[in-house]
Structure 1
Amino acid sequence: MPIFVPMETNRQKKIAGVLQKDVADVIQLALREAGVTGILVSVTKVNVTSDLSIAKVYLSVFPHDQGKRILEEVNAVKSRIKHLVAQKTKNQLRRMPEVSYYIDDSLEYIDNIDKALKGKENPVDNPDLLERRKKK
């Protein structure tokens, strides 16, 4: 029996794209103004619910060990980011969705696989060598 997976509508995709660009701009500007150097933050994906009221924003942070700290700082100024993004998107969105932020660990996961493949122990032969990826 096939599992029904709802498709993302064109409107959801459009809003996600607008939010992805504008949230990235706001966060990068805030990092520059704060004088933070050596940390790269990018918005890798945005998922918007079908009623357009909630958006999940996935952040990729380099270096990886700074991810938790950056996520805490972003969550601390969440309302300010929402306000700045709402100002940028006022001509495209009637209502700004509630935004929640998450760390996208896919690059770190890929890096671990790459290191393991180059190492002595091959995860292809022994899949237990890699830690399981967390479901979100």
Structure 2
Amino acid sequence: MESKRQQKMASLLQQELAQVLQRDLPHLFGGGLVPSISAVNVTPDLAVARVYLSLLLGNDAAERVAIIREHTKEIRFALGKRIRKQARVVPELNFFHDDSAAYAAHMDQVLSKLDIPPAPPEDEDGEADQPERPRLFN
């Protein structure tokens, strides 16, 4: 369970990192789509932040995350300039690919392929025809 302090720092980092990647350092992506930040988790001492990037388009997610990891110092420096009034120390940034959107699309596809039989018809009084269950107590 995250403390309020961790949640506030994670929210601040998520907003400011998005601004850094979109406005300050878009050249890192070679004119391609800038990844969105789906989540940020901060350790209790606020020293390390795990940043989850959502890379929706393209199959080169591993390459794009590797590029971001190579430029972590540059990203952290730009982030530090933006949050210097709100945070005493800029946390160490660890970037990870968030594939939850792809997983959700896969699960949606799996569920759409299921053959689910229709529900049994209902009687006039609104109850479905079901076999009578044995009574446990009289």
Bucket of the pairwise TM-score, normalised by the shorter protein: 0.7 to 0.9
In structure 1, the partner of 2:31 is 36
Determine the structure 2 residue equivalent to 1:86.
Answer: 80
**Structure 2 equivalent of residue 49 of structure 1:** 43
Q: Which amino acid aligns with 2:26?
A: L
Q: Distance in 2 between matches of 1:108 and 1:74?
A: 20
| Residue from 5, 8, 25 that aligns with 1:11 | 5
Alignment partner of 1:63 is 2:57: yes
> TM-score of the superposition, structure 1-length normalised?
0.76
Q: Residues of 2 paired with 1:35 and 1:54: CA distance?
A: 28
Deviations 1:54-106 (A, max 9, x none): 11000001215131121011001000000000110000000011110000110
Q: CA deviation at 1:24?
A: 1.2
Task: Tell me what 1:25 maps to.
Answer: 19
Tell me, in whole angstroms, the C-alpha distance in 2 between the residues paired with 1:76 and 1:123.
47
Identity of aligned pairs, percent? 30
Question: What letter is aligned with 2:91?
Answer: P
Distance in structure 1 (CA, Å) of the matches to 2:60 and 2:85: 34
The aligned residue for residue 3 of structure 1 is none
Q: For residues 20-40 of structure 1, what are the alpha-carbon distances to aligned partners after superposition, in whole Å with 9 as ceiling and x for unaligned? A: 011111112323675513x25
Q: Counterpart amino acid of 1:10? A: K
In structure 2, the CA distance between the partners of 1:46 and 1:34, relative to structure 1 (3 Å rule), is closer
Provide the C-alpha distance between the structure 2 equivalents of 1:115 and 1:99, rounded to a whole number of angstroms: 34
- Residues of 2 paired with 1:102 and 1:34: CA distance? 16
SS of 1:15's equivalent in the other structure is helix
1:105 matched to 2:111? The reply is no
Runs of 4+ in structure 1 off by over 6 angstroms are: none
Which residue does 1:128 correspond to in 2?
none
- Point out where structure 2 has 5 or more consecutive residues left out of the alignment: 117-138
